[in-house]
Amino acid sequence: MKKILSLLPLALVAPAILAAPAENTQVVLGGTSPVQNDLFHLPDAERVHEWYEDGKQFIKQHGLTYELVQHPHFGDYKLRVTEPKLCDPSVKQYSGYLDITDDKHLFFWFFESRTSPEDAPLVMWLNGGPGCSSSTGLLFELGPCNIADGGANTTFNPHSWNTHANVIFLDQPINVGYSYSEDGSTVDTSPVAGKDVYAFMELFLSRFPEYSTQPFHLAAESYGGTYVPHIANVIYTENQLLPLSPNAGLVKINLASVMMGNGMTDNYVQMASIPDYLCEGPYPIYDDPNGAQCAALRSKVPTCQRLIKSCRDFNSRLTCVPAALYCNSQLYAPIQQSGLNPYDARIKCDREKDGPLCYRQMGWIETFMNDPEVKAALGVNPQRKFESCNMAVNQAFMLQGDSMRNTPLLLTDMINDGVRLLIYAGNADMMCNYMGNERWVEQLDTVFLEEFSTAPTEQWVTMRSGKVAGTVRSAGGAGSGAGNVTFVTVYESGHMVPYDQPEAALDMMVRWIMDIPLTLDITEAAPLVPFGGI
């Protein structure tokens, strides 16, 4: 039996009821009779219906129906859930929104594992930007389907990460992808974004407890290298506080590892690596590493590092914004002016043909995600416009100097306490190059610092093809695991490793979440893991 709780535009429920005279207020319980009051005479698309059915709460708005999930500990948060059949109809899917008060809404899309979902780890994937939708990862890199035919169709992805993992794709912060705010407010710092993602995970796992007992891995790319340490830090800290609130009904999120690909994490170290990569890397853009152009570029590093140090010493917008403005303009400028794809030094970029980000598939994703039928299936307001990357969000983060702060500090305690760290980087990426990523990992202050500093560089051979996919350095793992601090260089890959090397990316991800060394001999590893989908 259904119980109608309300029949009003969501934003007007409380004020309208409070403003209406008592004799004009009618609530219908225990039936489905229409409400006979002019107060409720609104177009169907603008109405909001709420009801209970079979012990669950539902809501209908914009003509779309969702299950509504709430949690007593998170009074300002609600989860709206629907079940699409797009992309890969063979697996269970959920999509919808985390509503933060009535004003802010984060979109998610979840895919169950193709293999033993009840035993598979849970992975959350975030793209970077800042301001870019995780639909890029879903439809262009590691999701169950690949965008095709100019955005008119998708094709099955045999190398999807949900081959052996349950995967959540989340558009965050607000105003990214399908995520939006009603009141025009924005999130412009990673710490605030981290709190919202923690609330999402608590509501998601309270609704789907079958995934709560599995290891949870936070994975991201690019600016996700800044997001994820903040998110992981919130989860780790809240887990530590759980014993103090035993009756709060909170779930311990089994944070097992942090995975970051071609990430922007420690700009003090990574900015200094740009001249080395552009002048002496595997795909140099200058002919003479000792020439005038390289010398001019290297001369910018001391000022950049001095400004970043000031940002970290005072941790304020007044000191961090100058660092962001100077370092980005002085050290990234040659990359943008090179005529090459900044995310793949092997490829030229014609922005008129390839789009502003040098991948025409970004435009295809926008075409697909703006299809009214796709929106309806995913539980998205048909009036909501999708953009692959929101440059206003990008600018807002830069004008807070967010990327210049000391993000690696957030990782130390959790790694010392057993949360594992995987950093991987394609060797053709100019924006977040592998040299800088390896160097900041070498300096990361954990109990594994000394061991990692002397760790040898070893070959990584994929299990299915036997191809040398890259190199690995690792500390921890007691000689039998994938390591506690591990760095991987991926050959012949740019910024988006799962796009350029899909087989290798899946091989790496599966071994990591199953704690199997990437350096393990193929014949030894084969019986240990069901690699049928790789």
477 within some domain: no
Report d(CA 356, CA 349) in Å as an integer.
9
- Is the dihedral angle over the CA atoms 246, 249, 253, 254 positive or is it negative? positive
Domain that holds residue 37: 1-61
Active site residue 62: no
In the chain, the amino acid numbered 264 is M
pLDDT number for residue 46? 54
Catalytic residue among 402, 429, 500, 507: 429
3-state secondary structure of 49: strand
498 within some domain: no
pLDDT number for residue 49? 83
534 within some domain: no
Residue where the block lists tokens 């169907």 = 44
pLDDT number for residue 219? 98
Eight-class DSSP state of 300: T
- Tell whether omega for the bond before 173 is within 30 degrees of 0, i.e. cis: yes
pLDDT number for residue 192? 80
pTM for this model (two decimals): 0.88
Catalytic residue among 62, 105, 159, 495: 495
44 within some domain: yes
Active site residue 222: yes
6 within some domain: yes
- Return the biggest CA–CA distance within the chain: 85
Token pair belonging to 442: 């070498």
3-state secondary structure of 429: coil
81 within some domain: no
Token pair belonging to 186: 């924005």
Measuring CA to CA, which residue among 402, 470, 476 is closest to residue 444?
A: 476
232 membership: H or E segment, kind and range: helix 224-241
pLDDT number for residue 400? 87
Instruction: Give per-residue pLDDT as tens, 245-274.
Output: 877 788 999 999 999 999 999 999 999 999
70 within some domain: no
Q: Give the pairing type, strands 216-221 and 344-348.
A: unpaired
Domain count, the chain: 1
Active site residue 493: no
Catalytic residue among 190, 222, 273, 493: 222
pLDDT number for residue 246? 76
337 within some domain: no
Residue 424: burial class (beta carbons within 10 Å; 0-12, 13-18, 19+): buried
- Say if CB 253 and CB 235 are below 8 A apart: yes
Report d(CA 437, CA 487) in Å as an integer.
8
Q: Which residues of the chain have pLDDT under 50?
A: 1-45, 523, 525-534
